[in-house]
Amino acid sequence: MHIFRWHSSLKAASHGPAVRNMPIHLQQSTLDGACGPHCAYMALLLLGIIRRDDLDGLPRSRQRRLSSMWKQTERRYFVGSHAGHLQSALKPYARDLSCSIRRSNCIATILAVLDDAGVGIVQIGNDEFNHWVLAVGIGGTELNPTRRGNRDFNPMQLLILDPTFAAIPLSPWNGLLSVRPGRQAHHIYDTPDGRLHVRIACVLTLRKVDHGSR
């Protein structure tokens, strides 16, 4: 049986992915290189650290942390971001957010953070482009439906929110990235515009800090 698992806060609404009945998908324009910042803001929305209406005040937000993040991300708006840029931009939220960069064993890292109620900002690309997307869930086969546990789940795809494309109504994601690489370490990436073959360069893992456990 093929099943899909996604973040518990994420819902499928008529307008696409939503948290607390508010849309969280952010679509970039055809001119900018802000896929990374878009993914970072979507991650904060999904984890409940900011709300959608918080973004309405940008670039002059009354929230100091959000305003500080915006000032850092706007510098890379048209030129693109590296992993370090995104990690630095998220530092104002360090009290509420755990953020780390992994450049090896990326798939295992993404699966682990998704299983731990987090999300992953994933850098993908090939010889023609580099791009950031947000991993919000996992698709796969249930090997033994009568039992529960990850041992009986075979992950096959990452459920992706891609800022290049519009949100899909009644779907919490708009792309599927294969877990297993094929030739030349390429992963199959299915988008609303067709299929691509991409490599995974690195991932930023994001988890919300649980202050109650301290």
Q: What is the pLDDT of residue 58?
A: 76
Q: What is the pLDDT of residue 152?
A: 83
Q: What is the pLDDT of residue 63?
A: 81
The structural domain count of the chain equals 1
Tokens in use for 32?
Answer: 């900018």
Q: What is the pLDDT of residue 96?
A: 95
Give the model's confidence band at 188: pLDDT under 50 very low, under 70 low, under 90 confident, else very high. Answer: very high
What CA–CA distance (Å, rounded) separates 136 from 123? 14
Name residues whose C-beta falls within 8 Å of residue 190's C-beta, 6 or more positions apart in sequence.
175, 176, 177, 196
Q: What is the pLDDT of residue 74?
A: 85
Domain that includes residue 152, residue range = 29-209
Whether the predicted pLDDT of 171 surpasses 90: yes
Q: What is the pLDDT of residue 201?
A: 97
Can you say how many angstroms the Cα of residue 211 is from the centroid of all Cα atoms in its chain? 23
Peptide linkage before 163 cis (omega within 30 of 0): no
Whether the predicted pLDDT of 93 surpasses 80: yes
Residue 96 lies in a domain: yes
Residue 18 lies in a domain: no
Residue 194 lies in a domain: yes
Q: Which stretch of DSSP H or E encloses residue 68? A: helix 64-74
Name residues whose C-beta falls within 8 Å of residue 169's C-beta, 6 or more positions apart in sequence.
13, 14, 15, 16
Q: Which residues of 6-42 are buried (b: 16+ CB within 10 A; e: fewer)?
A: bbebbbebeebbbbeeeebbbebeeeebbbbbbbbbb
CATH code of the domain covering residue 53: 3.90.70
Give the model's confidence band at 88: pLDDT under 50 very low, under 70 low, under 90 confident, else very high. Answer: very high
Residue 75 lies in a domain: yes
Q: What is the pLDDT of residue 31?
A: 78
Whether the predicted pLDDT of 214 surpasses 70: no
Q: What is the pLDDT of residue 30?
A: 80
Whether the predicted pLDDT of 148 surpasses 80: no
Residue 12 lies in a domain: no
Residue 77 lies in a domain: yes
**Residue of 162, 144, 171 lying closest to 17 (CA atoms):** 171
Q: What is the pLDDT of residues 125-146, one digit of tens each?
A: 999 999 999 999 999 998 776 6
Q: Which residues of 115-136 are buried (b: 16+ CB within 10 A; e: fewer)?
A: eeebbbbbbbeeeeebbbbbbb
**Residue of 52, 47, 23 lying closest to 98 (CA atoms):** 47
- Please tell me the number of Cα atoms within 13 Å of 157 on its side-chain side: 20
Give the model's confidence band at 77: pLDDT under 50 very low, under 70 low, under 90 confident, else very high. Answer: confident
Q: What is the pLDDT of residues 100-128, one digit of tens each?
A: 999 999 999 999 999 999 999 999 999 99
Residue 186 lies in a domain: yes
Residue 107 lies in a domain: yes
